[in-house]
Amino acid sequence: MQQTFGNNIPTAQVLWISKALKPTVEKILQHQMGFLRVRYWQQDTTSVWILEEIGKTKPITIGVVVQAEKIADIKVLAFRESRGWEIKHEFFTNQFKGLYLTPDLHLNTPIDGISGATLSVRAMTKISQLALLFAQQLSISK
C-alpha cells in the first residue's frame, strides 16, 4: 500500500459481488467463487486489490495495482505452494504491467508461462483479470 499511495493510504472499501457480476467472476476463475465481497483501496483512478487464488492446492495471495483500468504493478504477497515460486520474480511480473482487459475478459497480451509453474501462472493470470474486472466495476458505479 505504501509503495502505491505513500503515507496517504486511503480507507479500505468493499465491492460487493452482485448476482449480475457473479457469472463473469466465475467465468474468469473457472470455478465457483468462494466470496461475496472484495476489499480494495482507491485514490483517484488508482486502486489496489489483494486477492487469492489456488495454485495447485494452496492459495497464492497477490496484490494488484490498477491505474486507469490497466495493471500498474503486481506482486506475489504470499506463496504457499512447493512449486511455481518463480512467479514472484520481476522477470515474470513485469509482463503484466500495462495490460488491460479485453471485452471477452482476457488480458490484451498473452502471458509467457514458466516451465514447472503452469498452475501458479494461471492463478496469477486469473487474479490480474479479476482485479481489472473489479476496477471496471468502480468506473461503472460512478
- DSSP annotation string for 55-123: SSSSEEEEEEEEETTEEEEEEEEEE--SS-GGGGSHHHHGGGTT--B-TTSSBSSPPP--TT-HHHHHH
Task: Return the residue matching grid coordinates 518463480.
Answer: 86
Task: Return the residue matching grid coordinates 482476457.
Answer: 106
DSSP secondary structure letter of residue 30: T
As for how many domains the chain has, the answer is 1
CA 106 to CA 125: how far, in whole Å? 9
pTM: 0.94
| pLDDT on residue 71 | 98
Q: Is the pLDDT of residue 141 over 80?
A: no
- Structural domain of 124: 2-141
Using pLDDT thresholds of 50, 70 and 90, give the confidence band for residue 27. Answer: very high
Q: What are phi and psi of 91, to 5 degrees?
A: -60, -25
| pLDDT on residue 9 | 94
| pLDDT on residue 117 | 84
Contact predicate 17/33, CB 8 Å: yes
Question: What confidence tens digit (pLDDT) does each residue in 48-72 have?
Answer: 999 999 999 999 999 999 999 999 9
Contact predicate 49/42, CB 8 Å: no
